[in-house]
Structures are given as structure tokens and as C-alpha cells.
Structure 1
Amino acid sequence: MLAAFWAAVGGKLADRWAAVAVPALVFWLAAGGAWTLHRGGVHTLTDHSTWLAQQSAAGQIVILTAALLTVGLSATAVNRAATPALRLIEGYWPRWADPLRHRLAGWLADRAAAEAPVWQAAYSRVHGQADPVGRDLTRYNRLERRRRRRPAATGHFLPTPIGNILRAAERRPIDKYGLDTVILWPRLWPALPDAVRRDLLAARGALDAAVTTAIWGLLFCAFAPVTLLAVPAGLAVATVAIVLAIPGRAQIFGDLIEAAYDQHRTVLYAQLRWPLPANPAEERAAGQALTAYLWRGSDANTPTFTPFQP
């Protein structure tokens, strides 16, 4: 039984290492390919393999162990950089960059404001017809997708499209239910069903993987002294990740966060014995009161807690 246990653990560790180290392995193989081209071409690989074969068994083990450690440690370092890198991509920049951040955020907010009448006209055409034409539906759906990728209020805009996708997802539970996403998320997370948490973790993992891909691409540019092709290749990888992969995965992650509040927000009320709002008109005020209670506490006489239900 113990042998089976350790075999299972070893398999899980191997799978986990592979998931983390594969991008790093690809990076170092590409770096090795650049170095090989710099040294004269593919035929130089024979010299390296011959040199490795001439080493003792202990020496070969040390070399391979060092190579694996390099791959693993670099993978760990880049994976840990995913969250701060995503923050930078979102537009959370140092204070000295405030002028640029405000300028870009204002420009994106102005573009959204200029598009608002166009969206309203498209909305009126689609919803004002019993059978809207395909062209009107296509235009409206395109504008609606863009609208969902932006915060509703001008003051909440960030300087990058990716930042606005995630900011819009954070703001929608506040706009709809009065529930502050940032404050309440640590309280809601433990109460979510396991399947929902798995989906959220998978979506966040996919988003982080796209961010690390961009990081690997930028790091590959450091091999420019070896070959100038490293710069366009690295920038191409980073550009595809930032322009195509990260926005799509950020949208999926944001939609799942919004869905968690849509479907499971009543769990917060029930576990805190907070009265449920009676109708949609009351819900935003009730959500704001619940958020304030969890953030700052209260000594008020209202609302009256509901009976405890084990």
C-alpha cells in the first residue's frame, strides 16, 4: 500500500513539475538553438554530445542535475513574477508614471464615451424591431462585447484594455448588487462549491500561463548578442500573448467571478444571518450595507439578524 502511495505521489510530483517546467524547457531549448546557430550550426551539436559522453557517470549526473535545476528554478521565478507582471499589464504602475496612466485612462474613457451614442442607437434598432436584421444584430453584438470590456463609470478606467476587462468584472457585482468584489471575495471564496472553485482556479491558471508566456518572450530578447533573430522572435511571442491570449483569458476569468456572485451571493447573507433583500430594488442598498458591515463592523440596531440555521 505504501509503495502504491509513493508511486502516486511521485507521479503527481512529476506531472506538477512538467506543467511548471515545460515553458521553461522550451525557452532553454530555444536558447540552446540560438547558441548553436551562433557557434556554427547544427553540426556543432556533435561536439557537445561527444564532450558529454566523455564525462564520467558522476559528471554526467551533475551536469544533467544542474540543467534540471536551471529549468526548474527559472520556471519557478517566472511563475512567481506572473502576478506582479499582470498588475503592470493591467495598468497599476508606480506613482512616477501617474501622468501617463491618467492620460491613457482618460483617452480610453473618452473613446468609450464617444461610442456610447452609437451603442444606444444600435440597441434601439435591435430591441425596437420584432425581427432585427442580421447587420444590426452583428453591429450591436460587437458594440456590446466592447462595452462589457469596460467599466461603466469613467473614473474607474485603467490605462490598458486588459486592466479595464478585469476592472469591469470587479465592478459589475457592485453595480448590480452593491457587493464590493475586492472586500467580499475572501469571504465568498470558502463558501463556493468545489466545482466553481476548480473552474476559477483553472481560469486563473490559464491567465497566468499567458502572462508567463509574455515574460518568456521578453526574456528571450536577452539573447540578442547571440543572434539578432532573438529580438523579433521574443517580441512576437510577447505581442501575441499580450494582444490575443491575455485579453481572452482575462475575459473568461472575469466572467466566472461575476457568475460566482450572480449565483452564490445569497450564501453571504445566509452565513452572516443578514436578511435577504426582498426585491431587486432593495438589493443594491442591502449589498452596500453588508459590505460596510464586513469591512468596518457596526453597532446599529438594524437590520435584525435572521434565525440561525445549522
Structure 2
Amino acid sequence: MGGFFQQLAKTLADRWISLLVLPGAFFLGAVWVSLALGQADAWNVALLTRQADDGMSTVADLPSGAQALLVVAVLAAASGVGFVVQALAAVTRRVWLGPWPRPFTPIAVARTARRRARWHRLVEERRALEAVNPATRTREQQDRIDTAAHRVTRLAMAEPGRPTWMGDRIHAVESIAYHRYGLDLAYGWSRLWLVVPDPARTELTAAHSAFAAAVATGTWAVPYLLLTVVWWPAVLVAAGIGLTGWARARAAVADLTTLTEATLDLHGRTLAAALGIGDATQETGPLTISEGERITDLVRKGR
């Protein structure tokens, strides 16, 4: 047990340092640079060097006890900033996935309507191209069909229902589950999660962790954006951090939704068997719509 608790303490310490202390310390450094230079001397490297030398001299002249307290204070401040940013991550997640809160509902509705109209237009273009007899299609015609299909799926995997691309990836899985299998994932996912094998659960957990890390990264753009009030180059840092987190989040959401849909395809019947629904002799194959609807009725419990 002693070894277990030592490993647990090491893991928690590593996560504390990587998620809170290091990002917070970098931000505190940016705060110091902002206050040292200001707007007028935003790129004055010579001034920054003098300020750093003066600061190091001041710290070196402090008693060892005061230096230790300063280190503790910096770590505490870095952790505090990290906790605040972690709390703001829920807002970032809501913005990227939707649905947006009430004050922004009209904007969300308008964006969703535009995305839906564009998606339907692209689908109609693809269907018009597919009207050509497959037996007489040329290679160029097939390439245009493939390009049109790619444009549709790049916009959304199903009819858009959220104001953002990432939100629509999640919405598409829910839509596919309901219309293809008759399963309401809002109620059925927790049951499905309990019966999927460990390899699938591990992959899904890793994809979700990657998305959570990307959300945390993107949220760090907010405090750096606030620094622009006193030091305008902070906007470049904020843009870089925000774009990095956003790009990583898109990739993570794509992986997560693909794995979720694959889990539903491969293990939906496992859920049906666990609930005593369907043909007991049929152990493989995807769910039928009738089976999915029976599962939905069961797990909803009349709600």
C-alpha cells in the first residue's frame, strides 16, 4: 500500500504541475513583462533586461527565508490562476460545443439556420451529380461526386443542429444513433458505456481526455487576452494559444465522435443482449431500429 500511495502522490503532483503550476507560472511571467514594459515600450528588450537584472538583484538580497516564502507565494499564485482558468474551461466547452446560453440564443439560431441551409444546398448538389447513370460515369464525373460528398461531410456528418462545427459532430452522432438505430443516446449512452469491453473504453477515454486538454489549452487565451489592456503584444500570445487549443479540440472531437459511432455499431447489440432485448441467438450484427426503439423505451422509463 505504501508504494501505491507513493505512485498516486507522484501522479497527482505531475498533474498539478502540468495543468496548473507551469501554465500559471508562464502567465505570471507574462504579467510581470506586461507591467515592466507597458504599451509605450512593448518591444523594448533593453528595458526588459534592466528590469530583470534589478528584480534578480532584489531577490538575491533577500534573506533565505524570504526567498523561500517568495517561491511559495509564486507557486500559490500560479496554482490559483490555474484553478480559475480550469473553472473557465466549462465556458469554453459550452462555446465550442453549444447549445449557447439564453442571451446568445438568437445568434445560435441564426448560425444553425445558415449551416443547415448550406448543408442542404451541398446535399442537393451531390444528388444532382449522382443522378448520372453509374454505368456511364466518367472518371471526372465521379471525382466531382466524391468532392461534393467530401464537402457535405466536412461541414457536418448529419443535418446541422448546433451553431458550431464541433457541436455538430456531437449532434451528428446523436442523430445517427436515433435515426439509424432508434437509440436515444442521451439515455442509452451510460448503459452502453457499462457493457463495452475495456479496449473500446480505453480508446474513448483517451479521446475525451485529449478534448478536455485541448479545452484547457484554449481557455488560457482568456487571461492573456486581458493582458492586452496593459501590454498589446499579449494579443499575439492569446491568439496563438487559442488557435492551438481550438485546432486540437477539433481533432479530438473528430476522433471521439468517430470512436463513439464505431462503438455503437460494434457493441449496440451487446447492450440489447444485456437488457434482454432482441433475438438471443443473434450475437453479432448491428442493432435494428425496432430493437433500438425498445431499448430507448426501457431506459427512458417513461421520461
For residues 106-145 of structure 1, what are the structure 2 equivalents within 5 Å?
A: 106-123=113-130, 128=134, 133=139, 136-137=142-143, 140=146, 143-144=149-150
Partner of 2:153: 147
Q: Which runs of 5+ in 1 are unaligned?
A: 299-310
Contact 1:178–1:286 (Cα < 8 Å) also in 2: yes
Secondary structure of the 2:229 match is: coil
Contact 1:170–1:254 (Cα < 8 Å) also in 2: no
Partner of 1:291: 296
Is it true that 1:89 corresponds to 2:96 in the alignment? yes
Secondary structure of the 1:41 match is: helix
TM-score normalised by L of structure 2: 0.83
> What is the alpha-carbon root mean square deviation over aligned residues?
3.2
When residues 200 and 78 of structure 1 are mapped into structure 2, their CA distance, relative to the original with a 3 A threshold, is: farther
Alignment partner of 2:76 out of 46, 69, 76: 69
| Alpha-carbon distance between aligned partners in 1 of 2:31 and 2:140, rounded to the nearest angstrom | 50
Is it true that 1:230 corresponds to 2:234 in the alignment? yes
Secondary structure of the 1:224 match is: helix
Post-superposition shift, 1:124?
A: 5.8
Deviations 1:109-140 (A, max 9, x none): 11011111222245566x92699737844761
| Alpha-carbon distance between aligned partners in 1 of 2:15 and 2:197, rounded to the nearest angstrom | 24
Secondary structure of the 1:52 match is: helix
Stretch of structure 1 that moved more, 217-226 or 105-114: 217-226
- Identical residues among aligned pairs (%): 23
Stretch of structure 1 that moved more, 99-108 or 137-146: 137-146
When residues 193 and 107 of structure 1 are mapped into structure 2, their CA distance, relative to the original with a 3 A threshold, is: same
For residues 273-288 of structure 1, what are the structure 2 equivalents within 5 Å?
A: 273-276=276-279, 283-288=288-293
Post-superposition shift, 1:288?
A: 1.2
When residues 258 and 114 of structure 1 are mapped into structure 2, their CA distance, relative to the original with a 3 A threshold, is: same
Letter in 2 for 1:189: W
Partner of 1:307: none
When residues 11 and 180 of structure 1 are mapped into structure 2, their CA distance, relative to the original with a 3 A threshold, is: same
Post-superposition shift, 1:295?
A: 0.7
Is it true that 1:255 corresponds to 2:258 in the alignment? yes
Deviations 1:161-187 (A, max 9, x none): 221122112222222211111111111
For residues 1-310 of structure 1, what are the structure 2 equivalents within 5 Å?
A: 2=2, 4-21=3-20, 22-38=22-38, 40-123=47-130, 128=134, 133=139, 136-137=142-143, 140=146, 143-144=149-150, 146-147=152-153, 149-150=155-156, 152-153=158-159, 157-242=161-246, 244-276=247-279, 283-296=288-301
Q: Which runs of 5+ in 2 are unaligned?
A: 42-46
Contact 1:150–1:157 (Cα < 8 Å) also in 2: no
TM-score normalised by L of structure 1: 0.81
Contact 1:105–1:158 (Cα < 8 Å) also in 2: yes
When residues 267 and 81 of structure 1 are mapped into structure 2, their CA distance, relative to the original with a 3 A threshold, is: farther
Contact 1:176–1:284 (Cα < 8 Å) also in 2: yes
Contact 1:123–1:140 (Cα < 8 Å) also in 2: no
When residues 68 and 296 of structure 1 are mapped into structure 2, their CA distance, relative to the original with a 3 A threshold, is: same
| Alpha-carbon distance between aligned partners in 2 of 1:230 and 1:273, rounded to the nearest angstrom | 59
| Alpha-carbon distance between aligned partners in 2 of 1:281 and 1:16, rounded to the nearest angstrom | 40
Post-superposition shift, 1:224?
A: 1.6
When residues 193 and 148 of structure 1 are mapped into structure 2, their CA distance, relative to the original with a 3 A threshold, is: farther
| Alpha-carbon distance between aligned partners in 2 of 1:120 and 1:185, rounded to the nearest angstrom | 33
Contact 1:214–1:241 (Cα < 8 Å) also in 2: yes
Stretch of structure 1 that moved more, 214-223 or 56-65: 56-65
Deviations 1:53-90 (A, max 9, x none): 22222222222112112222322332233234212222
Name the count of aligned residue pairs: 293
Post-superposition shift, 1:25?
A: 3.6
Contact 1:211–1:246 (Cα < 8 Å) also in 2: yes
Secondary structure of the 1:274 match is: coil
Partner of 1:306: none
Post-superposition shift, 1:297?
A: 5.3
When residues 99 and 178 of structure 1 are mapped into structure 2, their CA distance, relative to the original with a 3 A threshold, is: same
Post-superposition shift, 1:275?
A: 2.0
When residues 14 and 123 of structure 1 are mapped into structure 2, their CA distance, relative to the original with a 3 A threshold, is: farther
| Alpha-carbon distance between aligned partners in 1 of 2:95 and 2:295, rounded to the nearest angstrom | 31
| Alpha-carbon distance between aligned partners in 2 of 1:19 and 1:183, rounded to the nearest angstrom | 35
When residues 28 and 122 of structure 1 are mapped into structure 2, their CA distance, relative to the original with a 3 A threshold, is: farther
Secondary structure of the 2:277 match is: coil
